[in-house]
Structure 1
Amino acid sequence: MRGIALLRRPLCSKLAQRGPLSISQQRLQRFSCSSSVAAIPEVQQARRKKFDLPDTPCRARFAPSPTGYLHLGSLRTALFNYLLAKATGGQFVLRIEDTDQSRLVPDAEQRLYQDLRWAGLSWDEGPDLQGPYGPYRQSERLPLYSEHADKLVREGKAYRCFCSPEALEQHKRVAHEHGESTQYPGTCRAITAEESDDRAARGDKFAIRFKSAEEPTMIHDIVYHRYRKKDPEDDYIIMKRDGFPTYHFANVVDDRHMKITHVIRGAEWLISTPKHVELYNAFGWTPPKFAHLGLLVDEQKQKLSKRHAGANMSWYRDGYILPEALLNFAVLLGWRGKQKLGLLGLQDMVDNFSMQFTRGDIVVSMAKLPHLQDQHLKRLWQNQTPISTALFNSHVLEPLRAAIQKVESARASSAETAPGDIPVASLGEPLPTARILEERFRGDLGDGLLSAKGSSLMPDPTARFNAAVSHLRHFIWAIPRDALKTALLEIQPGALVLRDKPARLSDVMSHFVEQLGAVAKGSWTRDTLHQLLRDMEKQGPQGMYTLLRRALLAAGHGMPIARAMEILGREETLGRLEAARLVADEICAAQADEILAAQAQ
């Protein structure tokens, strides 16, 4: 990580009264701030106006380095820049900062494109689209950086440094041993322009260093207000010996030439911003507006590690987290919109965007994600659109089918249990048609996914699909005779009354078959069945709905029975009731034999 995460406003006289300092506050003791918030209405109103969006289109950029993969923090940065551009009618620019050639990861750039597109963050200009200010890959812009570095050298604002890496390392080691500053001592600063030109012409290797100001530079930030370090910068390198620019130099040159108006990035870059502003000043350029976002930390208040499951984009993609649910989760990490809203689609975020970001550590609580995921899932089966259908198929139906296949594999291998802790003995043959997987029952399938026990997203978000298959298994597989008998044996004998007369369990099942069999196939809907069941309930038996669930689903509780019967279909429902009648006959006969045997004794 470049720089130090700076997350709260620098210390002022009142801060010492606030008790123990957070990690971020401890870091900020090394810096000073020249402003404080006055608790008066006029100042507060002025602050609020500062968060308002400009009236003119903004150009914002996301500029990752392909030295690793997209993670939650970088996605949040990309999202806020995207929202600013779209909310003002501007452009969102993607720029690849690949100047650190030694650390490039071969597939990182392509993975970056894939992850951003998966999340729904499309860019207006970038390496694959080009645009008026390209190229958009820094390694293809080297002549531009050289031209600007040479300009600073000619103007005496930068100079060539011929010190070898070994000499610089030796200086740092000695200075550290003696407790002195390890900053560059300015060895080559006094070399004359003529000598510098001669040595460069002879082929002596050199870097180019910027002549930093003697006093610390003040910067203005939307989140942290006015900020200044206690000590001035050393003469830092802007062009390396290999001809590549440093991050800081290329960043400034590119933002200027790409006409970037706003830079939204992590607070770890706040410490580097004075360097950037010095460069803007040296060129006579106006800096863009800066907004630095609070550092993401875990629930132990430690920096969110890339090894944390929730930090990696692959965890969300492979776990079938909806892109909008993830964006909704990310946007709430340190941001307040114009209105207090919880469930947000991408367009909702655009419509409510402001520059009001939270200052300080942002605790990433993964406990909030399941709620957002479930609410966005519900939108899929409530909104009958091609996009919602496609997302439902890819994020619900596809993983459920994969979970079903795992169960089938367990059955084929004669395992005792299948994923989702399903006893294989509780499963019959697969139904000829698992109607619950059909599009018309999308809402029922989705509700089954959300109501399944053990469907938490943590630590493995795919486990909820195994739990859902377990919860809905009797809509997918037939009920074996032994499982059905076990369910019916839970019914207390002698407790059944039908049409005001005592009845056997088999008589009750015959009654169900007779009444429900009168419903034509074309009328087999949950509304028709619900009304019929209400009429049947008047005749008995008591606990009719529980009896039906045991006969149809081998369970004493679950979804409304009319809904279940519509999903199973007329043929499967009547077939299961007939099977239950036959098993009930056996149970009744066995119970009668037990009574006779007891009387004989």
Structure 2
Amino acid sequence: MSNPFCSFANGSRLVPDAEDRIYKDLRWAGLIWDEGPDLPGPYGPYRQSERLSLYKEHADKLVREGKAYRCFCSPEALEEQKKRAHEAGEPTLYPGTCRDLSLEESDDRAHRGEPFAIRFKSAEEPIKIQDLVYGRFMKNEPEDDYIIMKRDGFPTYHFANVVDDRHMKITHVIRGAEWLVSTPKHVELYQAFGWEPPQFAHVGLLADRYRQKLSKREDSANLQYYKDGHILPSALLNFVVLLGWRAPPTKGEFSLKFSKGDIVVSLQKLPFLQEKHLERLIEKEDKTYAEHLLEEKHFIKPLREAIEKVQQAKDEDLLMAPGKLMTGEIGARLPAPRIFDERFRRDLLRLVTSRRVMLERPADRFVDAMWKLRYYIWEVPQGVLEVAVREGKLDPVAPADRAEQLGKAVSFLADKFQAVDGADWTHDGLGKVVKDVMGNTEYWEFFETSKNAQTNVYTPLRWALLALEKGLPITTTMEILGKEETLRRLEVAKSAAAMAARPLAKP
């Protein structure tokens, strides 16, 4: 990005903090610039309101050369003329009242303080222009003698953009297709000054699902929607770049081949891009300080906030917490959940991205992820484990009538894992223990109905550690929980199995 030029051609419509908000939004999106109002460079000043003398100089030049003229018609008179032309079914063009005033009379009236605008003398025949997207373009009728400098001394967009682009050495103008019909005006101005016009490329307008011009009230057009939804700036940029444009097959190349026609903004691809960019960010080993901040702001912080919402609901004895999580199904909160450790970030990402970004409420994915994360953050209540056995959720490995044998199997597993050295408490190290247990005939004696070695080991473990919740590999889960918490949960599971083995008390 070369520079963030501020186009405030209408002095009466300036919004005090608009410029600062533009800078903040650009920086949030990860866009940087070489020069601008906040970063002086060779082509300043960068606010149109500070370049009025430049516009006046060039407008005066056109007046002196007879290519433009002062118009002393009052706004009221012009409005009345338009009204009469409209009622008569005639074009509402400027009638040329001041077109043929002599320069001497024009100078004299201006010197006496009579208000005036400056109009450009358009060509009598329409001109052809070349566009990189639409090819040759020519209007059916010649241009009106349009205003280039208003009565308040500010330039119109048509005039200011030509003067600015020339003085800033702009070579390509890429803008919305709505400006294609105005391009002949701009090319005429370039020709009047004897300047070579830049190349023009007019791209389709962004449209909503009804193919109407995208409104600022639409979420997809509001940057705050993406900020509040914790969408990564890189994911949003990736999404925007692909609107109406396809990357060349060769990496590193750039093409000006844009789609013709309006571009329907569909956010359906955004969740996919968000997940890919988040995955790339988290898996990057040599993160910059800025990238660490991005990860914290758009991933870790909203997760911690979601945890606090669930905990608050639990502390207030509410039946249900955000994310449709029953507070009775989670126990005490772990003092320092290891799932947030840097080395487990990829595993945390897998659990969170199992909940896709909901376009209506993108930030809700963090609360929704609490279901998958719950037993990495909170303990598993003994009652939840007991109910799972009684309801036959461990069938056919451990039916309800074999709860006592299930307890013995868990005790066997606890003894094996108790013997694991702390340095070997890793996914691979724990995997070796599990493999040894699978081949142990003593362990097999606890089961009758199932003859699958993996199921006999993994089902009791997943029940004891996660209340049968699917997700990460069980050995990865054990590594994340740590040895102390894993063994504690196995002890709780033994007690749950013992309780499930007892007959329920009659009401």
TM-score by length of 1: 0.78
Provide the residue aligned with 1:585 in structure 2.
Answer: 498
User: Please, which of 575, 580, 589 is the counterpart of residue 488 of structure 2?
Assistant: 575
1:399 aligns with 2:305: no
**Any stretches of 5+ residues in structure 1 without a counterpart?**
1-81, 83-91, 341-347, 595-601
1:527 aligns with 2:448: no
Tell me how far 1:300 sits from its aligned partner. Answer: 2.2
Provide the residue aligned with 2:316 in structure 1.
Answer: 413
> Residues 494 and 369 from structure 1, CA distance in 2 versus in 1: closer, same or farther, beyond 3 angstroms?
closer
> Residues 272 and 494 from structure 1, CA distance in 2 versus in 1: closer, same or farther, beyond 3 angstroms?
closer
Provide the residue aligned with 1:307 in structure 2.
Answer: 217
Letter in 2 for 1:406: K
Q: Distance in 1 between matches of 2:461 and 2:292?
A: 33
Provide the residue aligned with 2:88 in structure 1.
Answer: 178
Q: Distance in 2 between matches of 1:329 and 1:497?
A: 49
Letter in 2 for 1:439: E
Letter in 2 for 1:226: R
Report if aligned partners of 2:404, 2:497 keep a CA contact under 8 Å in 1: no
Report if aligned partners of 2:404, 2:501 keep a CA contact under 8 Å in 1: no
Tell me how far 1:503 sits from its aligned partner. Answer: 6.2
> Residues 306 and 165 from structure 1, CA distance in 2 versus in 1: closer, same or farther, beyond 3 angstroms?
same
Provide the residue aligned with 2:462 in structure 1.
Answer: 549
Provide the residue aligned with 2:477 in structure 1.
Answer: 564
Tell me how far 1:414 sits from its aligned partner. Answer: 2.2
C-alpha distance after superposition, 1:39-96 (max 9, x if no partner): xxxxxxxxxxxxxxxxxxxxxxxxxxxxxxxxxxxxxxxxxxx4xxxxxxxxx12210
Q: Distance in 2 between matches of 1:385 and 1:239?
A: 54
Provide the residue aligned with 1:446 in structure 2.
Answer: 349
Q: Distance in 2 between matches of 1:496 and 1:221?
A: 71
Report if aligned partners of 1:552, 1:573 keep a CA contact under 8 Å in 2: yes
Report if aligned partners of 1:488, 1:550 keep a CA contact under 8 Å in 2: no
Q: Distance in 2 between matches of 1:461 and 1:445?
A: 18
Describe how 1:58-73 pairs up with structure 2 within 5 A. Answer: none
1:430 aligns with 2:343: no
1:367 aligns with 2:268: yes
Give the secondary-structure state (helix, strand or coil) at the position aligned to 1:290: strand
Provide the residue aligned with 1:22 in structure 2.
Answer: none
> Residues 266 and 584 from structure 1, CA distance in 2 versus in 1: closer, same or farther, beyond 3 angstroms?
same
Q: Distance in 1 between matches of 2:393 and 2:315?
A: 36
TM-score by length of 2: 0.92
Tell me how far 1:401 sits from its aligned partner. Answer: 0.8
Q: Distance in 1 between matches of 2:10 and 2:340?
A: 50
Tell me how far 1:477 sits from its aligned partner. Answer: 0.9
> Residues 271 and 492 from structure 1, CA distance in 2 versus in 1: closer, same or farther, beyond 3 angstroms?
closer
User: Please, which of 188, 211, 215 is the counterpart of residue 98 of structure 2?
Assistant: 188
Report if aligned partners of 1:485, 1:583 keep a CA contact under 8 Å in 2: yes
Describe how 1:218-367 pairs up with structure 2 within 5 A. Answer: 218-339=128-249, 351-367=252-268
Report if aligned partners of 1:547, 1:556 keep a CA contact under 8 Å in 2: no
Report if aligned partners of 2:206, 2:213 keep a CA contact under 8 Å in 1: yes
User: Please, which of 187, 203, 216 is the counterpart of residue 113 of structure 2?
Assistant: 203
Q: Distance in 2 between matches of 1:474 and 1:251?
A: 59
Give the secondary-structure state (helix, strand or coil) at the position aligned to 1:407: helix
Letter in 1 for 2:338: R
Provide the residue aligned with 2:287 in structure 1.
Answer: 386
Give the secondary-structure state (helix, strand or coil) at the position aligned to 2:201: strand
Report if aligned partners of 1:494, 1:502 keep a CA contact under 8 Å in 2: no
User: Please, which of 369, 374, 378 is the counterpart of residue 473 of structure 1?
Assistant: 374
Tell me how far 1:135 sits from its aligned partner. Answer: 0.3
C-alpha distance after superposition, 1:4-61 (max 9, x if no partner): xxxxxxxxxxxxxxxxxxxxxxxxxxxxxxxxxxxxxxxxxxxxxxxxxxxxxxxxxx
Letter in 2 for 1:183: L
Tell me how far 1:494 sits from its aligned partner. Answer: 9.3
Give the secondary-structure state (helix, strand or coil) at the position aligned to 2:235: helix
Q: Distance in 1 between matches of 2:478 and 2:200?
A: 60
Report if aligned partners of 1:488, 1:584 keep a CA contact under 8 Å in 2: yes
Letter in 2 for 1:140: E
Give aligned-pair identity as a percent.
Answer: 56
C-alpha distance after superposition, 1:426-477 (max 9, x if no partner): 121210110001111000011111113xx33311110001111221011001
Decide which moves more: 208-217 or 534-543. 534-543
Report if aligned partners of 2:127, 2:139 keep a CA contact under 8 Å in 1: yes
Report if aligned partners of 1:494, 1:503 keep a CA contact under 8 Å in 2: no
Q: Distance in 1 between matches of 2:253 and 2:233?
A: 19
Q: Distance in 1 between matches of 2:48 and 2:254?
A: 30
Tell me how far 1:580 sits from its aligned partner. Answer: 0.8
Report if aligned partners of 2:397, 2:459 keep a CA contact under 8 Å in 1: no
Report if aligned partners of 2:247, 2:254 keep a CA contact under 8 Å in 1: yes
Tell me how far 1:496 sits from its aligned partner. Answer: 5.3
Q: Distance in 2 between matches of 1:448 and 1:401?
A: 14
Provide the residue aligned with 2:361 in structure 1.
Answer: 460
1:125 aligns with 2:35: yes
Letter in 2 for 1:527: D
Q: How many residues align?
A: 491
Give the secondary-structure state (helix, strand or coil) at the position aligned to 1:451: coil
User: Please, which of 168, 184, 190 is the counterpart of residue 78 of structure 2?
Assistant: 168
Tell me how far 1:257 sits from its aligned partner. Answer: 0.8
C-alpha distance after superposition, 1:313-346 (max 9, x if no partner): 1111221111111111111111122217xxxxxx
1:512 aligns with 2:401: no
